[in-house]
Structure 1
Amino acid sequence: MQSKKSKVSSKLWAALAAAGIIAGAGTMAYQFSYAETAPQVEMNHKIVPLFNNPPAAPATNVAVNAPNFASIVKAYGPAVVHINVKGETKETVQQQIPKQFQNDPFFRFFQQFNNGQQQEVPTEGLGSGFIISSDGLILTNAHVVKGASSVRVTLTDHRTYKAKVLGYDTKTDIAVIKIPATNLPTVRLGNPSNLEPGDWVLAIGSPYGFYNTVTAGIVSAKSRSLPDDSMVPFIQTDVAVNPGNSGGPLFNTKGEVVGINSQIFTQTGAFEGLSFAIPINVAERVAKQIIEHGKVQHARLGIAVQTVTQNLATSFGLQTPRGALVAQVEKDSPASKAGLQPGDIILSVNGQPVNDSADLPMMIGLSEPGSKVTLGVWHDHKQQTITAVLGNFSDNVTLASASPGAKGDHGGLGLVVRPLNANEEQQAGVSHGLLVEGVSGPAEQAGIQPGDILIAVDGKSVSSIDQVRGILKSAGKSVALLIQRGSNRIFVPVQVG
């Protein structure tokens, strides 16, 4: 077998030879030019352009003026606070065996009944926050104050207050606390939608307890989705953020707060160039519910979704990979009542495009429970519109997140399947499907395993081998198989052999 390196080398050699760069396609003489016209090359005594690109546009000098960070810090730094929290956590305490008894079998016998006892161990933590009203309302992160028995706030003038936690929301990591003070300095809130990658931003906080530390950087990306926080479209920056910065403000160049510094991506525990802030418009919406109701409600649709890859898009007849592919619909959920089905691809919510499956939980979760949403859906190779009434996320459901005994060998897919018997259907919690008993070729490469259950092919439910054969006859180069493994379902694109 030819190695990857030799394959690449041979392809590169062929490409260079075809271009005439290597001898065999005519002699060449190079001419370098700094003018706007393309350089010329002599090939077999004929002058031809080396590149067929049109002349480049004249270069323009873009002036980049650094913002006046000092004036922002002077104006709004006093509204940033340091937060100290104390609490207790349960830890398993193992008693040490005295040295003189370490080899005593009787002592060890009785010692086993005393090990593993739970004890309350005092803990301390720190974070940051910022004042949003002159009468003492402060925004911070939920993870800063969650579980705290005591919260103390220190202002820049060294005044210290005991704070009351009005409420927090772990799904968005937002908390509101209040201190008994008046005439306090406050921040101005901005619109994070106006941010663009490359814009300057400024952070103020208490990394490692160093009060009012100022760091700056740029916006790296917007609408980032993190694994444990699917409801928040994070602002990614390269601003230096460390433990203790959590809950502190992220300012734009106008001195407006556009985000709350919340997380960093690190392999060492310290800053490594990737920090994430919660957009302030998300925080405002959550904080308003906390202040008015003491709790936060999130909407739900009741579906599990997955990313639309190029192969899946081709299988469902979609020209470009976009949207959120519905892999599972909960029984009696808002999605089920609206008519959504596994295999549907949600392309938009209220006219806003769903570019990736990560966009959908944010759009749904931050909506009001009971509100109506209009979904643009790709169903059965055509687009349609569906209206759904959103439920409440607190209902303990997901957000958006042949004849019997016969066997069939689908050589084109590399699958050996058979219909489920009644007992297997009951155990799997399904009403139809085919049990995968063997895999090879395309199916094996796609990750399908024996024991998986084939629920649907290209969005069409299957319960017999003849149904699968019929669908494959009219299928393209790729098909989307809805596979259930355990209690989870996912669409798997498989190339048809």
Structure 2
Amino acid sequence: MFPSLAADRRIRRIMASASLSALLAFSAAGAAQAQPAAPTLALPDFTSVVAKTEKSVVNIRTTEAVPVRPQGIGPDSNDPYDMFRWFFGPDFQMPGMPQQRRHKMPTPKEKERTVPRGVGSGFFISSDGYILTNNHVVADSNGIFVTLTNGKEYKAKVIGTDPRTDIALIKIDAKDMPPLTIGDSNQLKKGQWVLAIGSPFGLDSTVTAGIVSAINRDTGDYLPFIQTDVAVNPGNSGGPLINLAGQVVGINSQIISQSGGFMGISLAIPIDEVMRVVDQLKAHGKVTRGRIGVQIGQVSDDVAKAIGLSKAEGAMVSNVERGSPADQAGVQPGDVITRFGGKDIAHWTDLPRMVGSTQPGTRVAMEVWRKGKSVNLNVKVGEMPATPSKAKAVPEEAKPVPTDSLGLKVKPVPADIRSKDQLKGGVQVAEVEEPAVTAGLKTGDIILTVNNVDVTGTEQFSKLVSQLKNGHTAALLVLRGDQTQWVTIVPGK
């Protein structure tokens, strides 16, 4: 018998469905075969790097002297007045103290004892025993002891230290030591593997690994840092950061932590910066840096737009020290230093490093942005003094003019301030309302410039403000104390 028409149709649908399923399965299998396998990357083998470098790293322990209370003096003494002398000093006097005790009280000779101070790390940079470490590892110590990986211990002496960069150069009396090869920290890239070798918590020759997380990390210190996720803990300070070629590219110096232990962010001093310091420490035992005598700050986007800078780059001069190299070169408060020695200043913190690395007495070309245009200057770099100058307070006077669209009442600059700061113009803020309050202006501020136009007096200032357009940002150059800064403000109605 032949199938009915309806049965025949059912058979055809079943066969078509089966054919389609087979075709899809074949296509999927073909696609799976055609798709290339994902490449697999093996983790690097650090054993050869460790074997090459480990003997160059040393453990550093330090000691310090602490005072010892002399016998018979203090709260345990049988003399009831010794307790007061213990807390308030040997010359302490009080009502009722016998007359013979008020005078000629013998000052006990203070004794000291040596106690352990801390543990750090370091590494050889030459075969004759020169070792690099952090300044904070050896600072305030009365003894420095270096232990090699073979357990042999030496007493070290300090050749020189530089607290500003936290670098110390010490030396032991030894020969044929295995120095680390100095690498090039400028060649580091994010994601690159690096190792740390040191003595965390006193556990010497500990090796940890990670990657470079960031380059030129600015933390407000004098130098930029290499940021890594290499596990670094107390005791690693002064140890080397090593690349896979076995070269030292930095000195492990800091961790960023809320607990005091490792939390994934470690900072190392770039070895290029370190070696520049080492050269001076070897030669002179100290570091001499250049200075030009300016205080600087960041250039914000609003300020850059208001004063006509194409980018928010450079260092904004907030103060020029009188008689300094910058003052003699013609630098003015409110200038934005954009180039120094032929190099662009991408970030304001670049300038101190550029100036500091310049030999005092050197003449350097400098470019500043002033009143909408670039000005070329030539500065003779001076030598950085031991102690910075202190700021002085600014007095006030009265007689303001009516409040303007900036929310300001201003008055003439008092004669004593004008003389002290050598001001040729400007007005002093007497009262502050909105929008000046939000902009950060304060009573006593001295406004020197409005949109690159120098302020000569109260009447001229009022005219400048009246010409400002509502809703358009204006830039005021403001002197507060001895600091000058640009303040942006949007005039009200």
- Does residue 464 of structure 1 match 2:457? yes
Change in 2 beyond 3 A, CA 1:92/1:363: farther
Aligned twin of 2:252? 261
The question of 1:419 aligning with 2:412 is answered: yes
Give me the TM-score of the superposition, normalised by structure 2: 0.78
Q: Distance in 1 between matches of 2:39 and 2:363?
A: 46
In 2 relative to 1, CA 436–115 (structure 1 residues): closer, same or farther, beyond 3 Å? same
Residue number among 348, 355, 359 corresponding to 1:368 in the alignment: 359
Structure-2 separation of matches of 1:457 and 1:61: 61
Match of 1:485 among 456, 466, 480: 480
- 1:150 corresponds to which residue? 143
Aligned to 2:428: 435
Segment of structure 1 superposing worse, 66-75 or 209-218: 66-75
Partner of 1:494: 489
Q: Secondary structure at the match of 2:207?
A: strand
3-state secondary structure, aligned to 1:183:
coil
Distance 2:338 2:330 in 1: 15
How do 1:14-33 residues align onto structure 2 when only pairs under 5 Å count? none
Task: For residues 197-222 of structure 1, give each alpha carbon's deviation from its aligned partner in whole angstroms, at most 9, with x where no partner exists.
Answer: 22111111111111011111111212
Q: Does 1:71 align with 2:62?
A: no
Cα deviation, residue 326, structure 1: 1.1
Work out which of the residue numbers 299, 314, 331 in structure 2 matches 1:323. Answer: 314
* Alpha-carbon distance in structure 1 between the residues aligned to 2:440 and 2:68: 41
User: Any idea what SS the aligned residue of 1:282 has?
Assistant: helix
Matches of 2:413 and 2:56, distance apart in 1 = 64
Asked whether 1:220 is paired with 2:213, we answer: yes
- Residue range with higher mean Cα deviation, 116-125 or 478-487: 116-125
Letter in 2 for 1:160: E
Q: Give 1:421 shift.
A: 2.3
SS at match of 2:65: strand
Residue identity opposite 2:285 in structure 1: G
**Is 1:312 aligned with 2:303?**
yes
Corresponding letter in the other structure for 2:155: K
Shift of 1:73: 0.9
Q: Matched residues in 1 for 2:385 and 2:416: separation?
A: 33
Q: Which residue of 2 aligns with 1:449?
A: 442
Task: Check 1:331–1:210 CA distance in 2 against 1; reply closer, same or farther (3 A cut).
Answer: same
Q: Classify 1:384/1:482 alpha carbon distance in 2 versus 1 (closer, same or farther; 3 Å).
A: closer
Mean Cα displacement is larger for which, 74-83 or 408-417? Answer: 408-417
State how far apart, in whole Å, the 2-side matches of 1:132 and 1:433 are.
56
Would the aligned equivalents of 1:416 and 1:437 in 2 still touch at CA under 8 Å?
A: yes
Does the CA contact (< 8 Å) of 2:120 and 2:237 recur in 1? yes
| Residue 110 (structure 2) pairs with residue 115 (structure 1) | no
Q: Does 1:394 align with 2:385?
A: yes
Contact 2:306 2:488 in 1 (8 A): yes
Q: Which runs of 5+ in 1 are unaligned?
A: 1-57, 399-403
Q: Secondary structure at the match of 2:297?
A: strand
Amino acid at match of 1:336: D
Q: What does residue range 263-282 of structure 1 map to in structure 2 within 5 Å?
A: 263-282=254-273
Matching residue of 1:38: none
Tell me the distance in 2 between the aligned counterparts of 1:343 and 1:487.
12
Q: Deviations over 1:58-104 (max 9, x none)?
A: 999787553332211110011001101112368999x9867xx9xxx
In the aligned structure 2, how far is the partner of 1:370 from the partner of 1:415? 45
The Cα of 1:151 is off from its aligned counterpart by 0.5
Q: How does 1:184-203 map to 2 (within 5 A)?
A: 184-203=177-196
Match of 2:335 in 1: 344
1:86 counterpart residue number: 63
Cα RMSD for the two superposed structures: 3.1
- Native 8 Å contact 1:92 1:117 kept in 2: no
Quote the residue 2:7 is aligned against: none
Q: Partners in 2 of 1:225 and 1:92 — Cα distance?
A: 45
Q: 1:233 aligns with which of 224, 229, 243?
A: 224
Structure 1 pair 59–380 and aligned structure 2 pair: CA distance change class (3 A): farther
Q: Is the 8 A contact 1:242 1:264 kept in 2?
A: yes
CA 1:199–1:90 in structure 2 vs 1: closer, same or farther (change >3 Å)?
A: farther
> Which amino acid in 1 is paired with 2:49?
I
Q: Structure 2: where are the runs of 5+ without partners?
A: 1-34, 91-109, 390-396
Flag the 1:116–1:256 CA change in 2: closer, same or farther, 3 A.
farther
Contact 2:409 2:430 in 1 (8 A): yes
Equivalent residues, number: 426
Name the stretch that deviates more: 250-259 or 415-424: 415-424
Choose from 157, 163, 166 the match for 1:173.
166
What is the aligned partner in structure 2 of residue 300 from structure 1? 291
**Is contact 2:325–2:379 with CA below 8 Å preserved after alignment?**
yes
Cα distance between partner residues in 1 of 2:446 and 2:37 = 60
* Structure with bigger gyration radius: 2
Of all paired residues, the percent bearing the same amino acid is 40
One-letter code aligned to 1:222: I
Q: 1:177–1:116: structure 2 CA closer, same or farther, 3 Å change rule?
A: farther
Cα 1:319–1:428 shift into 2, 3 Å: closer
Q: 2:241 is matched by which residue type in structure 1?
A: L
C-alpha spacing 1:91/1:454, structure 2 compared with 1 (3 Å): farther
Residue 127 of structure 2 is matched in structure 1 by 134
Give a deviation string over 1:369-401, Cα, whole Å, max 9, x none: 222322232222122332222111126457xxx
Matches of 2:47 and 2:294, distance apart in 1? 48
Greater fraction of residues in strand: 1
Alpha-carbon distance change, 180 to 427 in structure 1, aligned in 2, over 3 angstroms? same
TM-score normalized with structure 1 length: 0.78
- The 1:487–1:382 alpha-carbon spacing in structure 2 relative to 1, beyond 3 Å, is closer
1:240: Cα distance to partner? 1.4
Q: Which residue of 2 aligns with 1:208?
A: 201
Query: Cα offset for 1:430?
Result: 5.9
Instruction: Note the C-alpha offset of 1:164.
Output: 0.8
How many angstroms apart in 1 are the aligned matches of 2:323 and 2:453? 20
Residue type of the partner of 2:130? L
Larger deviation: 357-366 or 205-214? Answer: 357-366
**In structure 2, the residue corresponding to 1:325 is in which secondary structure?**
strand
Contact 1:129 1:247 in 2 (8 A): yes
Give the whole-Å Cα distance in 1 for the aligned partners of 2:377 and 2:69.
52
